[in-house]
Every structure is written in C-alpha cells, then in structure tokens.
A and B are shown apart, each in its own frame.
Chain A
Amino acid sequence: MDQKQFDKIVERQTPKPVMFFSIIKAFLIGGAICTIGQLITFFYIRFFPFTERTAANPTVATMIFIVMILTGTGLYKKISQVGGAGSAVPVTGFGNAVVSAAIEHKSEGYVLGVGGNIFKLAGSVIVFGVFSAFCVALIKTILVKMGVVSW
C-alpha cells in the first residue's frame, strides 16, 4: 500500500465537520457573549458615572472576572467545545487562556510557575495584537499625511 492509497483511506474515513452548523453555533455563542457584554456596558453607563467611551474598561474587567469563575469551574471549556471561535475571539477567550494557564502551572509555584507561564497561550495574542496595531496606525498615519483620509 503506497502513501496515496493510504491518504485516500484516511480522507474517506475521517468525518468532515459540517461547516454550516459550526458557523451558526459560533455566531450564537459569540453573539450571546457580546450581548452580555453590551448589557454590562449599559449597566455601567446607567448606574455609574461612566460614558460610552469610558464604560469599556469596567466592562472588560467584569467579563474577565466572569470568565475566571467559569474557567475555574470547568464550564468555559464546555462552552468553547460548542462555540469554537465564537468563544475564543471575544475578550473572554483571552481571559480563559490566561486563567487556564495560571491554574495549570500553580503546582510549580507562584514565580516560576504562575508568573512564568501565565502568558504561555495569551502571549502570542499580545505580541501580534501590538504588532498589528502598530501596522494599522502606520498605514493610517501615511494615509492622513497624504490627505486621503482624515483622523
């Protein structure tokens, strides 16, 4: 049996995930997370001295706090098995990556374990987040200088 035949068998036997349902599920879960986030934003604007612009910070903090509890109780893992990208893309996915790494490496102590590994997964998000923000800012600056768009 050569490689090609084997590859064919593997392809035939491996079940294909149904893209349509995955997308719908990701949309619903991601949408639900964002709806909760929006409700929290409204809550902060209504009852605390925050404007639309300043309410984002406490909202993110609250969302991450909720995720911290969900991750600790093992619920977030179940949500993401259904939601996929829908639960990974919002800030909750980032929070989950940080918190899960921290829980995992507690056994190696607080400095080398938790401190050293807390950004094991989230580190790449930060690196590429900062880098892409830099690129976008650079492009926008050039466009503004050329007079194509304004700030």
Chain B
Amino acid sequence: MIKIKYILLLLLFLTACSNETNQMVYPENDLPELEQVLKSKEAVYGYRSVMNKDDVLVSIDIRRMHQFSENKIAKNIKKELEEKFPDKEFLVSNDLKLKWEIEKIMKQNLKNDELTKSVDEIKSLLKEET
C-alpha cells in the first residue's frame, strides 16, 4: 500500500508543474516577424528566442501529438526563418537543454560578451551527436 501511495504522490508531483505557455523573445521586440512565423505554426504552443549579433537561438514547445515529427517541424521552421532573414543564422530545436539555457540567459539578463559566450556554448552543445 505504501508503495502505491508513493507512486501516486510522484504522479501528482510530476503533473503539477507543466502546461504554461510561454512566448518570449530576448532581447525584446527585436524581430517581430519571428514571432509571427512561430505563432502561425499549429504544432508550436510556446517558444523562446535569443538573438546575439547574427545568431538566433529558437527553442520551441511542440504539442504532444506532433512530437513524432519534431525534427521535421524544427527543420521547416528553420528553413522558413532563413528565407525571411537571409543574413541571420538560426538554430531551431525543441531540446529541453536549449529551452532551459535560454531561460537562464533571460533570467540573468546577460549582455554582450557573456551572451556571446553562452550562445556559442549552447551551439556547440547541440551539435554534439552522441
């Protein structure tokens, strides 16, 4: 019985903190068109974006049933964005690490050198294969 109680508690704990949609861009209001593109996507319910010089990191939250084709969705968004802004380099992914790192940047309000450093770090992390 005790075992079952713990499992139920665990389930409650896990379901309690999720489902908040967040749509944020950092630094604010830099690329209004980017938000338009992301908002038009049905499969995407939340996004965070960080821009540093020419690099744009976009983290997207994909709806549950669309997660089967998450890579395809990210790729399409990337393509679309690159067509709109040919001078920028985009990195689109639904990876949790990207989302959390972007949130960290937003929270700490990083600027200039620090921002460049952490953006480069994230980029190299996501390129790792294994």
Contacts and interface: CB of A to CB of B under 8 A. Distances in A.
Tell me, yes or no, whether A and B come into direct contact in the complex with CB atoms closer than 8 A.
Answer: yes
Interface of A: 28, 31-32, 35, 42, 45-46, 49-55, 57
A28 B4 contact: yes
Interface of B: 4, 7, 10, 14, 95-98, 100, 121, 125-126, 128-130
Given A28-B4, A28-B7, A32-B7, A52 B130 contact: no
A45 B125 contact: no
A45 B97 contact: yes
B71 to A, nearest CB: 9
Contacts of A31: 7
Contacts of A49: 121, 125
Given A28-B4, A35-B10, A54 B128 contact: yes
B72 to A, nearest CB: 8
B99 to A, nearest CB: 10
Given A28-B4, A32-B7, A57-B130, A51 B14 contact: no
Given A28-B7, A46-B100, A57-B130, A35 B14 contact: yes
Given A28-B4, A50-B125, 6 more contacts: A32-B10, A42-B96, A45-B100, A51-B98, A53-B128, A57-B130
Contacts of B10: 32, 35
A137 B10 CA distance: 37
Contacts of B96: 42, 45, 51-52
Contact of A51 (B4, B7, B126): B126
B19 to A, nearest CB: 16
Contacts of A45: 96-97, 100
